[in-house]
Structure 1
Amino acid sequence: MLTYRKAAVLGLFILAAVYLLHSSHSTAASRATLADNQKLDFETSKQQPKTTGVPPSSEKPSRPYPPPRKASNTKDSAQQPLTEVVTTSLRDRLQYQFPYDRAGKFPAYIWQTWKYTPASGDFGETFRPAEASWSELHPGFVHEVVTDDAAVYLLKHLYASVPEVVDAYASLPLPVMKADFFRYLILLARGGIYTDIDTTALRSTTDWIPSEVPRSTFGLVIGIEADPDREDWRDWYSRRIQFCQWTIQAKPGHPVLRDIVANITEETMRMRKKGILKDKKMDKSIVEFTGPALWTDTIFAYLNDPTYFKMEGSKNITWETFTGMEAAKKVGDVVVLPITSFSPGVQQMGAKDPEDPMAFVKHDFEGTWKPESERVKPVIE
């Protein structure tokens, strides 16, 4: 028989069991809800865009914001310190970007510049036979006629790592100066042959140098433009021996090209800073700034630089080394061709006819890039 006392004890037991069961269920639900909330917050944070700065003062992040970087004692040896990059000279950066391999091959490129490509109807019939002669005598070569507009994009691509060079090119005030600069720039970066649009190839480049001279021993081929043996030579030419720059063959990275590119870049920036980088305001003539005078001086400086050559005795290489030449002469890694090679038929200074075996390139002296007052004309005696 269930007495009153037994009923009271049983009731208390049931109440205690219900309480304990409810308490346990609430705790589990709370933990589940907390876990779900934390999971949602984590997933939401992954979807939010990353922000910078300090969060609003009303927020109290549970960790430093933004998270601190983990300390490291290791140094990335592959990354050059910024200070070293900034302080490296222009010539050093050009050398790094365009290394010179004297033993390498001359690239099979022919570079020319003009306002239009041969495919354009505006190219001009005057230059078509001359332009075609280079392709005909060099069938395995890549022959490019680069327009003014294309030159800008090409140089931006080639000299992206040396932006001041591109800046200098864009800053030059006259087309003739850009034309001068372009030939040095394209040969430094890619090598091959640069030749003016008004030149005609008479013989293939394979015939320019005697076969007994190994191609692995030289990296620059130039010709004499002027060898004026007369008292008034200064009225006609800038140097007693003047090397022509309408036709040049080079391996990429040659130090002469590197030096002249650096020189023009530095002088451009200097004159721009002084506010004189304008036509008729510059403190240098075009011939001295970008033309054959600078080209000639750079070559002589290179040939007399003990960094590159071990000279016998103390005698410098001067114009006397090359005056009166009738055959190719190799000095260091530079081959100099006589005046007949690139200037046949000028009827002076010992130059012979275009039919001569040493005549390789005929220049028509059109002066397409240079103003009449700046063009160095051949003297007819």
Structure 2
Amino acid sequence: MPAFRRTIFAAICLIAFVVILRHSSRSPDVPDARGYRPVQEIFAEEKDAVAEAQRRKSGARGQMPLGATPTAPLRDRLRFQFPYDMKKRFPAFIWQTWKYDPSSSSFADEFRSPEASWTELNPGFQHEVIPDDTQRHLIQYLYGSVPDVFEAYDSLPMAVLKADFFRYLVLLARGGIYSDIDTTALKPAGSWLPEELDRSTIGFIVGIEADPNRPDWHDWYSRRIQFCQWTIVSKPGHPILRDMVAHVTEETLRMKKAGILRMGDMDKTVMEFTGPGAWTDSVFRYFNNPEYFNIKPGDKNITYEDFTEQTTERKVGDVIVFPITSFSPGVGQMGARDIDDPMAFVKHNFDGTI
């Protein structure tokens, strides 16, 4: 009898161990990133900006905060206009852009099924496809209080640059999901994150686009690990988007002032200006920013090594990083699995052209 009980006890312990292991493996922190713990409260300056905006709206008297003045640094003005509150819900918006509205006869047939997949799988979301002739007016409306941002958008000389910039701008101001028009939703957005994850501790979701573990990777990609920009999920005001909007704005106005903001004359490629190279740098800058993480002297930086060969989601502070399968299933390389994999959420058809 004692032996039988020991056997039962051992079996129970084994089952419990497997359950705990499976649960803990669903969203591990990035391995070996000692000291990278997100500040537990909403970031102090964001809380202050929210409180100040509410105070001013109510008509209370007091000194105008620096971020509200036209001469304040761009990042401070963006922080004031679009404060980040991590504890709020992800807005139920789906943003896409194309040359024409889906109601137009000019809307390409090959995009109708992918576009419809987002509405069909996410019936509770407000799904907007913003046509080219509307994008400028929307950015002017959203960024009327930050005129240099609109000036930068309006000055960009190529449609691909405007398309890149628009996704960062609309997510910073309104939040939600941005996905290119040539993507197909494979699973409802509400199911992308494991149920056990507390959404009030997550403000941003990004996926790996490329993980080229080969000596000549730089001949094909801009970064050893490259983050995807064709599908991004964010709460409004996230610091990664603020940094990216500031980067594009500052570089645009710098080249405009230098008289080189023209096709063939710019000193930055699309990849390094608005595209995946610059985008990946912005994400890593956030991961290694002591303003947002409790980084101790001697702690190692978050680098590509923390994400290579990743197969499930990983959490860095308030950011979830999905593996390459999530937004690039079926590409047949770099470890990406097929579209029927549990971690496959969005399929990029690579059909979009500007």
- Pick the TM interval, shorter chain: 0.7 to 0.9
Q: Unmatched 5+ residue regions in structure 1?
A: 1-75, 370-381
- 1:9-65 Cα offsets, whole Å, 9 max, x none, are xxxxxxxxxxxxxxxxxxxxxxxxxxxxxxxxxxxxxxxxxxxxxxxxxxxxxxxxx
Distance 1:139 1:366 in 2: 25
Distance 2:174 2:114 in 1: 23
- 1:54-109 Cα offsets, whole Å, 9 max, x none, are xxxxxxxxxxxxxxxxxxxxxx9557499982431111111110010001100000
Change (3 A) 1:167 1:82: same
Change (3 A) 1:129 1:292: same
How many pairs were matched up? Answer: 294
Does 1:307 find its partner at 2:263?
no
| Structure 2 residue identity aligned to 1:141 | F
Shift of 1:124: 1.2
Change (3 A) 1:82 1:185: closer
For residue 159 of structure 2, what is the aligned residue in structure 1? 175
For residue 201 of structure 1, what is the aligned residue in structure 2? 185
- 1:326-372 Cα offsets, whole Å, 9 max, x none, are 00000011100000000000100000001111100000112413xxx
Distance 1:84 1:298 in 2: 24
**Aligned with 1:144 (options 128, 131, 138):** 128
Distance 1:82 1:249 in 2: 29
Distance 2:90 2:349 in 1: 26
For residue 272 of structure 1, what is the aligned residue in structure 2? 256
SS in 2 for 1:135: helix
**Aligned with 1:331 (options 316, 326, 330):** 316
Q: Where does 1:1-381 land on structure 2 (aligned, <5 Å)? A: 77-78=61-62, 80=64, 85-311=69-295, 313-369=298-354
Change (3 A) 1:230 1:299: same
Distance 1:249 1:348 in 2: 24
| Structure 2 residue identity aligned to 1:311 | I
| Structure 2 residue identity aligned to 1:341 | S
Distance 1:104 1:83 in 2: 22
| Structure 2 residue identity aligned to 1:306 | P
Distance 2:63 2:101 in 1: 42
- 1:258-316 Cα offsets, whole Å, 9 max, x none, are 01001100110000000000111111000100000010000000000011001354200
Distance 2:66 2:283 in 1: 34
- Asked if structure 1 preserves the Cα contact closer than 8 Å seen for 2:204 and 2:238, the reply is yes
Which has the higher Rg, Structure 1 or Structure 2? Answer: 1
Distance 1:342 1:180 in 2: 17
Task: Report % sequence identity.
Answer: 63
SS in 1 for 2:69: helix
Give the superposed CA RMSD. Answer: 1.6
Distance 2:200 2:119 in 1: 25
| Structure 2 residue identity aligned to 1:215 | R
| Structure 2 residue identity aligned to 1:366 | D
Which protein has greater RCO, CA pairs closer than 8 Å, 6+ apart?
2
Distance 1:137 1:77 in 2: 47
SS in 2 for 1:126: helix
| Structure 1 residue identity aligned to 2:314 | K
With the length of structure 2 as denominator, give the TM-score of the two structures.
0.81
